[in-house]
Amino acid sequence: MTTLISGEQTWLMWMMVAIMAAFSVWGEQKTKWGGKIGAACIAIFSTMILVNIRVLPSASPVYTSVSSYILPLSIPLLLFQCDLKKIIKESGKLFVVFHIASLGTMVGACLAGFLFRDTADIGGIVAMEVGAHVGGTVNLVACGNAFGLDQTYISAVAVAANLLVAFLMIGLSAATDTKWVRKTFPHPHLDAFEAQAKDGAGSVAEQYWKPKNVSLLTIALSLATTFAICGVGDIISKWVQSLGLPTILDQLFGSIYLVICTITIILVTLFPKFFRKLEGAEELGTLMIMMYFVSIGGAADLMELLQVGAAILTSIVFVTIGNLGFLFGFGKLFKWNWEDLCNASCATIGGPTTAAAFSINKGWNALIVPGILVGLWGYAIGNYLGILCGNIFV
DSSP calls for 222-238: HHHHHHHHHHHHHHHHH
Query: What per-residue confidence (pLDDT) applies to 1?
Result: 66
CA distances (Å), origin 106, targets 95, 126, 252, 373: 17, 9, 18, 20
Query: What per-residue confidence (pLDDT) applies to 138?
Result: 74
Range of the domain at 278: 10-199+214-393
In a domain, 50, yes or no: yes
pTM over 0.75? The answer is: yes
Pair 79, 284: CB distance under 8 Å: no
Query: What per-residue confidence (pLDDT) applies to 129?
Result: 92
The counts of H helices and E strands in the chain are 22, 0
In a domain, 3, yes or no: no
In a domain, 220, yes or no: yes
In one-letter notation, the amino acid at residue 164 is L
Residues 49-83 as b or e (16 or more Cβ within 10 Å = b)? ebbeeeebbbebebbebbbeebbbbbbbbbbbbbb
Residues 382-394 as b or e (16 or more Cβ within 10 Å = b)? bbbbbbebbbebe
d(Cα 128, Cα 133) in Å, to the nearest integer? 8
In a domain, 1, yes or no: no
In a domain, 191, yes or no: yes
In a domain, 320, yes or no: yes
Query: What per-residue confidence (pLDDT) applies to 82?
Result: 81
In a domain, 207, yes or no: no
Query: What per-residue confidence (pLDDT) applies to 13?
Result: 97
Pair 275, 268: CB distance under 8 Å: yes
Query: What per-residue confidence (pLDDT) applies to 37?
Result: 74
In a domain, 204, yes or no: no
Q: How many domains is the chain built from?
A: 1
Q: What is the CA radius of gyration of the chain?
A: 20
* pLDDT of the chain, 394 residues: tens digit per residue: 689 999 999 999 999 999 999 999 998 888 877 877 778 888 888 998 999 899 999 889 999 999 889 989 998 998 898 888 888 888 888 999 999 999 999 999 999 999 988 888 899 999 999 999 998 777 888 898 889 888 777 877 887 787 788 788 788 888 887 888 888 998 887 777 666 554 444 333 335 567 778 899 999 999 999 999 999 999 999 999 999 888 888 888 888 888 998 899 899 989 999 999 999 998 999 899 899 889 988 876 666 566 656 778 888 889 999 999 999 999 999 999 999 999 999 999 988 878 877 887 777 777 877 888 898 899 889 989 999 999 999 7
Q: What CATH number did the domain enclosing 41 receive?
A: 1.20.1530
